[in-house]
Amino acid sequence: MRLMVVFGVVVLAGCEHTSPFGAEPAHEGMHELFPEQMTLSSGLDALQGLSYSGDEIFYTFCDDLKVERVPACGVPAGNPSSGGDRCLGALSIGGGGRLVSRCVGPGGDKDSVQVYTTGTRLADGSIWFVYQSRVWSSGMFLNAGLYRLTSGELKPQLILSYEPDLGNTATPGRMLSAGENRIYAESEEGAALLEMGSDGVISIPAPRFIAIDPRLELGLLIRDEQLIVRQLRSGTETAVGPIPSTEWREPQLTGVGFAGGSIVVSQRGQTGSEIFPVHNSRLVLLRTDQQPVVFAERTGSAWSTVVVSADEQFAVAQLGGDIYRIALP
């Protein structure tokens, strides 16, 4: 099966029985010997997603000065109801120092636990992020909201205020750029597309996407083990193909990245005996007019969240508590 992107619309270009996505991928593209480590924080670096332009990766991290504090820093962004402070950072996809680094909350609540859960940058250069604070001794939330920081401003603007209960199910734990002025926000209660207009924010219910290409305004989702591309504005859907198969026991899909005609999936599973299992993880590239190919594989540690650069030259993926960049074959 071949996937083509034509003027921003994904169409099926026929079916080839010699290279279905569901087949075991080839390993000819294995070249990942020394992936480039992009983050060096002492605690957990949790990859979030790309900016609208595709040249920045956003992630949350621990302030190195607070790694040993109680409560401990290092809880992933999707579970901010326990653990300590989380900062928001952004790096150029080419590497280098942080372009964004926010650890202090916008409300001046320095004596509370300060948690940046997720963030991204839109086409106009504005940074959007979700922040919340709570009393660390009781777990009681003080505030939670969606903020916008425009270029040239020092103080973020509160756009939406959340009133989460102790379970924090309403506050988005994942947020991705979904267009020039759109954000995809996902919480435990559901998902929505937030469109920024002159009169404020419009919330449009959305399915749970596993990846989004903001420049083409396309979302990727899974239904009945099939990868489906959905146009965010029209809702038109096209089946791309099945998830790559594997002979591993208990296989799991741990992440998906998507840009243009390239999809990268991260998978993990077990080999060896059931008493002494071997834990495996791999990154698989699905690309237009090519057979699916494994280009990175690990034993022990697991690849998880993954994104694909806008030029489709690199995958950026989380491995354990760090973030790495790998050239695509």
> Which residue ranges make up each domain of the chain?
1-30+208-329, 44-206
Between CA 302 and CA 324 the distance in angstroms is: 12
Between CA 224 and CA 226 the distance in angstroms is: 5
What one-letter code names the amino acid at 10? V
pTM of the model: 0.85
Report pLDDT for 151: 81
Report pLDDT for 138: 59
CB neighbours of 299 closer than 8 A, spacing ≥ 6? Answer: 278, 279, 280, 281
Enumerate residue ranges in the chain where pLDDT < 50: 1-20, 29, 76-78, 80, 166-169
Between CA 268 and CA 252 the distance in angstroms is: 5
